[in-house]
Chain A
């Protein structure tokens, strides 16, 4: 998932979908349907420095965290969202000994250097590319750019 970010398809006659963005620190399960029709999603471009889901057929852009259709034909509609569990293999087998796994054939990192390694917020002196900064709205100055915190 780290090198796909979106999983979708048919396994055991169901159409699951999950999104997981390591750097965005976001992961959710989704039922890839809008108005009862199954949609196929791809990683689209960036907004708020976050990847956006794009419905291949209608080009509608959707939030990968809330499932809300942001722009395009389905604007304002909602992909149903639920929790994506995060669990170790040994814990998963205790939880459900019959649990199945979908494995990707994509080679580890495809032999390329990870973008995340270069842009990890904890690294000193690393700046976001200008193309990324342009996607940001007004920033909260209480924390450094891209730092993660909980505002109360």
Chain B
């Protein structure tokens, strides 16, 4: 249980800061807080455990290979999308590119 352990450590450090001076331990406290995301996120090469890797999802989804585009205005004019359709947009070397089908709420 990483979270309770880290939380208890932070509480302990906070108590020390109150007892022995906030300035002295403030930097340590801040450093510990900033390191939390890395401590809590387990998907890293250093912690990867191949025994927890499941073949269950292998065939569910296929990669969308993008080979042609049209303008958003064209897609709107042909009612491929509606004005409130939500899109993911990525920035490429030549500008922004929207990707189709972000959610089941799209119009087709």
Contact = CB atoms under 8 A, between A and B. Distances in A.
Instruction: Categorize the interface residue count of chain B.
Output: 35 or more
A69 interface: yes
Contact of B92 (A11, A132, A134): A11
Given A27-B88, A45-B54, A46-B56, A3 B61 contact: yes
A86 B58 contact: no
A1 B87 CA distance: 9
Contacts of B102: 1-2, 20, 22, 86
Interface stretch (B11-19, B22-30, B71-79): B71-79
Contacts of B87: 86-89, 92, 101
B83 A88 contact: yes
Contact of B76 (A13, A66, A93, A129): A93
Given A45-B53, A95-B96, A16 B89 contact: no
Contacts, number: 251
A142 B4 CA distance: 9
A115 B45 contact: no
Contacts of A138: 1-2
B31 interface: no
Q: Is the interface of B mostly helix, strand, loop or mixed?
A: loop
A99 B57 CA distance: 33
Interface in B28-65: 36, 40-45, 48-50, 52-58, 60-65
A89 B43 contact: no
Nearest to B6: A151
Interface of B: 1-3, 36, 40-45, 48-50, 52-58, 60-73, 75-76, 80-104, 106, 108
Given A22-B103, A99-B95, A101-B69, 19 more contacts: A7-B65, A11-B68, A11-B69, A14-B92, A20-B99, A29-B90, A42-B62, A42-B63, A46-B57, A50-B43, A84-B89, A86-B86, A90-B84, A99-B96, A103-B69, A106-B62, A140-B3, A140-B40, A151-B3
29 contacts: A1-B64, A1-B101, A2-B101, A2-B102, A6-B63, A8-B63, A12-B92, A12-B94, A14-B92, A16-B92, A20-B88, A43-B60, A45-B55, A84-B89, A87-B98, A88-B87, A93-B73, A93-B76, A100-B72, A102-B64, A102-B100, A103-B69, A108-B106, A109-B104, A114-B104, A129-B56, A135-B53, A142-B3, A151-B3
